[in-house]
Structure 1
């Protein structure tokens, strides 16, 4: 199956570079481009790609509001936000907007291709540096009481959620808990189902917003 991609960025040279990298892959095809958020929403709604690469800082409509608009439509595409870490506030708002992937614009071509495949496959991907930034953004904030639905999680599921929030992959969680990776995948799926979350990006946001994980703490 070919993965269809739309690139939304106000820099033409960057769009051309991303297109060149993506179209070297036999299972990927760039079906459209956009130079601002308004155009990104219109192009994505018309072409219905599998994945949208979305810059944050764009004219007319920024990538954050464009992401929210796209994800509010039926059967939305998966969105990977491209960021230069302009502000921690923008980064966290991008997480809250519901994007499934986050990459630095200086990420390697290999990392970009991996991210597109992971996100197109229904998973979520956080650049480790992004997770570190999220943790820093919560430093010093008072932690709320965990919501009632947290009580539905088993102790092991809570462990998995906390480790996900620290940016660990399934294999890293498996090593930390001394269990098999298949077991971790099962726990992750149950955590998402019980908490009504779409993917592990939402799980990271949830863990910090609910006070289950705090910067510098467990």
Structure 2
């Protein structure tokens, strides 16, 4: 069973999201918080596989909570949820290392798909949001320098490209005829070589440096 933390300050929205999430028998909302501080407090008491955080909450917003969660519990996945189709929020969420970004008007199947994509190691940005944020990342693209990538092998470049496309470890393994363990090892090496913190930063690196 996948344990889900849901942080949202509006009661009706919480109940609706919980109901949608639990239509999938593999998912269970085992913690509900009304703000970022409550979310952190819950994480200190029990383990969650994924935290779904609203961007705007009182006392501590979702972006700050996400940053603290990812620093303290780096194996936990974080999916940001908002009503605001604002590319600046998305860019900040990606900078922090969030694994996905959804609008609250998503239907149950889209929400569940996003959750599972994040859990599998993919980077999921809802289509309407991606349509706004990807061009901004493209505008920031830089030609990768040979110096920066001098120690990256061809196989690692292939994997980096797939990460930039938002593929999960399972999808990368299937497309490149590798084991999931081998893909994970390559990703660890890439993070070390490029001095990046996490998979999200690898994806942004791939887009910015015209690898995708």
Query: TM-score scaled by structure 1?
Result: 0.76
Quickly say closer, same or farther: Cα 1:137–1:69, change in 2 above 3 A.
Answer: same
CA drift at 1:96:
1.2
Shift of 1:15: 0.8
Match of 2:189 among 186, 190, 194: 194
Match of 2:122 among 124, 140, 143: 124
Change (3 A) 1:52 1:147: farther
Q: How many residues align?
A: 207
**What is the 5 A alignment of 1:67-216?**
67-74=66-73, 76-121=75-120, 123-127=121-125, 129=127, 130-141=129-140, 143=142, 146=145, 148-155=147-154, 157-167=156-166, 180-183=175-178, 189=184, 191-196=186-191, 200-208=199-207, 211-213=208-210
For structure 1, which runs of at least 5 residues remain unmatched after alignment? none
SS of alignment partner, residue 150 of structure 1: coil
Kept in 2: contact 1:10–1:59 (CA 8 A): yes
1:38 matches 2:41: no
Query: Measured at CA, do residues 117 and 126 of structure 1 come closer, stay the same or move farther in structure 2, by a change above 3 Å?
Result: closer
**Cα distance 1:71–1:171, how it changes in 2: closer, same or farther (>3 A)?**
closer
Aligned CA RMSD, in angstroms, stands at 3.3
- TM (normalized to structure 2)? 0.78
Q: Secondary structure at the match of 2:157?
A: helix
Question: Shift in Å at residue 171 of structure 1?
Answer: 9.4
Moved more, 128-137 or 143-152: 143-152
Give the distance between the partners of 1:133 and 1:143, measured in 2 at CA.
19
Consecutive unaligned residues of structure 2, counting only runs of 5 or more, are none
